[in-house]
Chain A
Amino acid sequence: MKIKQTAKALCKIALSGFLALLTLTAFCFFYYNIPAHQENKDGTTDYKWEPKVFYSRGTEGFAWGKTNNEGFLNPIDYNENTPPIDILIMGSSQMEAYNVNIRDSVTGRLGEHKTVYNIGIAAHDLMTCFGNMEAALNKYRPKYVVLETGKCLFTDEALSDAVSGTTGEIPSHSGGLVGLLQKNQYLRLVYGQLDNFMKKQADDDGDEAGVYSGADEGRNNDKLLSGLMQKISSTAREYNARVIILYHPRVLLEPDGSVKLKGSASAVEQFEQTCRENGLMFLDMSQRFTREYYENHRLPYGFANTSVGSGHLNKYGHAMIADELYRLISETE
């Protein structure tokens, strides 16, 4: 009798657990629906999202949409009917822009004037993008390639790996148990929560692959940086493309209401100079971000459901970058 009762209670718990998981997964379909990552065999990025699937994001900003036929966030598909690409955007989650709707992203805004294609994807910092650039230029043949970065100061090791083309590949985790778990949105949300929690516990400042911040002082190794830029420049020439390195610093709000830019000013200056010497364009968003704050009280980062001024680029940040990129390209042309 007791065994029967226990079995009945266990069945009830299992059934309730299953029903609850179904409900929570349905909730996450709209609240946190991030498609699973897949390996990208063409080497333009280390991985990409599942193609042609619905995604939504409510944990940082509110956005939803559908990935394109290649598994990137674009208003257009890439196929034989796609017009020649004017601007190819490469970068991290900041350019991936899954916190804003596609029409509000740099891609969406620039797309009003030019043919733009975005292959920005999470965790792809500047060095990873450098590593993927040749494959990307070879495939998409753009007039301009934008390489986004949130920092200009890199370790010798990172620079040296980029020069020798040995920057480590970022795994997609598309196989095995983790790959399977990625398919359930609620479990993915819990994983994200756990990951955030562990990072905070470890006193991590929330950087994603070093995208957001950099040290406030210091310079890059001159020789390595020059070597890297020469390599980038010659690759770009080979494909008849112009490279724009887009630098968007973190903006910190101070208690007196002023803003301070995070990052090493001398490294930014060094980066800009080295770019110039090698025929690469360098777009520094520092002034525009500062001006926009003092004139219009707008910060480029942060959302209505997160801390003010921190995290990913919001729609204002994307608009500022799109404006400045358009201005730079128009002036060049």
Chain B
Amino acid sequence: MSFASIEFLIFFAVVLGGTWFIEFQFSTRVKECFLLLASYFFYGYWDWRFCFLLLFVTVSSYFSAKHHKKKAVFVTGVVVPLVVLGFFKYFNFFLSSVAAVIGKDPGALRIILPVGISFYTFQALSYVIDTHREKIPVENDFVKLALYISFFPQLVAGPIVRAADFLPQLREDRKVSFDNIKWGIQVFTFGLFKKIVLADHISVFVDDVYSKPVAFHWTAIVLATVSYSLQIYFDFSGYSDMAIGCAKCLGYDFNKNFNLPYISQSVTEFWRRWHISLSTWLKEYLYIPLGGNRKGKARQYLNLMITMLLGGLWHGANWTFVFWGGINGLALCADKLRHDKKRTGVLRWLKILATFIFITFTWIFFRADSFSTAKTVLKGIFTLQDGIHQPFVWSFVALAFLAVATLAAEIKARKAKTDTNGYYPILNLSKVWGLTVFFIVLGLIVGLAYTGENPFVYFQF
């Protein structure tokens, strides 16, 4: 059940109405159980068997956190989610990689990748590690912990919500309110627009070019690559907005997951603005435990590389993702070496452009299904290949949308004399003009939406 589907809208309306009704009539406990059941229903809609896997990871995290002072139990609590993730996501990948080295036919187990496994295992890990570090208290209430790990808005594609951020909200008596719904529904709609109007239309062109790169003119390949930068941003940030909006309607807050990443002046800044919940997770639970920058320069670079290589692998069981992580890691090391300062004026825009070009280049390896496709794409560009021209209009529409959003954020930041940050254009729905604009946006979504099947890019991770 994707957020951008009629089934989800019906499901969400029922859950929202049910939660509101329960808050009036029953205790918080009933509400938590209801949300937990709804979350498992949401997850089981894909494949009910994986609900048991989710439950297994939750039970494991619950007991290992409870007895985290015993080292063996704590280690088990960390290893179990990693083994689950490793088996379902990486088993065939490692098998085929080893077989390729020794030159044998690997065979393969028919393993279905459970949707969202990379996200909920990371959430479970954050809880176990944080309790062990005594950053958060042990959660004795199993329902609360299970709801934290399985809460449907963030279950299948993030944002990766940390226990320290979410469990305290469950302990408060958060309610469904009209104000929250007004805010949440607008953020959801904003995300829906990004996903089904912009990202999905662009995906048609990107898929065309990346499935037959030899057929296209080099300018079309360049445009498709730039378009993919836009597609993945609108797709994933759109999904995050929808998750944030859904949670808000139910009374819960998620942190921002994207903050205008394409106005970054360096790769380091990009990773502070892109998929913030993952970057923060990798920093706190991988980079810092590895030693961070506390053990000298050489070790810091090594730690950065390890973090980014594993971050790349987290995205998918393919060497192209590892390579993508690797080149991002190298760029981060280069940033650390240069100690380049933030610029203003024309230099700032040049640095933004250079970073965008570099990031777009790295997306080639992220999008291509193999090194061979990536090579064909690069060859097409650098040999100025002749072929089909396709000045795809939706790419320019998306670019214009991004430019306007960035300009609005820039003007706002200048007025407030702060850094440029993304924000949600929230309308006052109590006024006629606010409602009219909101209805127009809804109408545009219905009228302009791409009507084909197109799952969220990050579902595969």
Contact = CB atoms under 8 A, between A and B. Distances in A.
B392 A256 contact: no
B379 interface: no
B419 interface: no
A240 interface: no
Interface string B401-441: 00000000000000000000000000000001001101110
Interface string B223-251: 00000000000000000000000000000
Q: Is the interface of A mostly helix, strand, loop or mixed?
A: helix
B389 A16 contact: no
A297 B440 CA distance: 40
Contacts of B438: 16
Interface in A289-313: 297-299, 304-308
Contacts of A257: 212, 214-215, 387
B204 interface: yes
Contacts of A308: 205, 208-209, 388, 390
B432 A304 contact: no
A3 interface: no
22 contacts: A12-B432, A12-B435, A15-B436, A16-B439, A19-B436, A23-B436, A23-B440, A23-B443, A24-B443, A28-B447, A196-B451, A197-B451, A253-B212, A253-B215, A256-B212, A257-B215, A297-B215, A297-B386, A304-B390, A305-B394, A306-B204, A307-B208
Given A193-B447, A297-B388, A304-B393, A255 B440 contact: no
Q: Is the interface of B mostly helix, strand, loop or mixed?
A: helix
Nearest to A58: B393
Interface in B438-453: 438-440, 442-444, 446-447, 449, 451-453
A162 to B, nearest CB: 33
Contacts of A17: 439
Interface of A: 12-13, 15-17, 19-21, 23-24, 27-28, 32, 186, 189-190, 193, 196-197, 200, 253-257, 297-299, 304-308
Contact of A307 (B204, B387, B444): B204
B162 interface: no
Contacts of A32: 447
Contacts of B452: 200
A297 B212 CA distance: 13
Given A200-B453, A297-B217, A304 B391 contact: yes
Contacts of A307: 204-205, 208
A305 B201 CA distance: 8
B211 interface: yes
Quick one: which of B386, B394, B451 has the most chain A CB within 10 A? B451
A323 B48 CA distance: 59
B443 A20 contact: yes
Contact of A200 (B205, B214, B388, B451): B451
A20 B388 contact: no
B436 A20 contact: yes
Contacts of A196: 451
Contacts of A15: 432, 436
B212 A255 contact: yes
A304 B435 CA distance: 34
Nearest to B391: A304
Interface string B375-404: 000000000001111111110000000000
Contacts of B214: 256-257
A297 B387 contact: yes
Contacts of A27: 444
Nearest to A194: B451
Given A196-B451, A257-B212, A304-B392, A186 B387 contact: no
A237 B436 CA distance: 62
B435 A24 contact: no
Given A20-B443, A186-B447, A197-B451, A255 B211 contact: yes
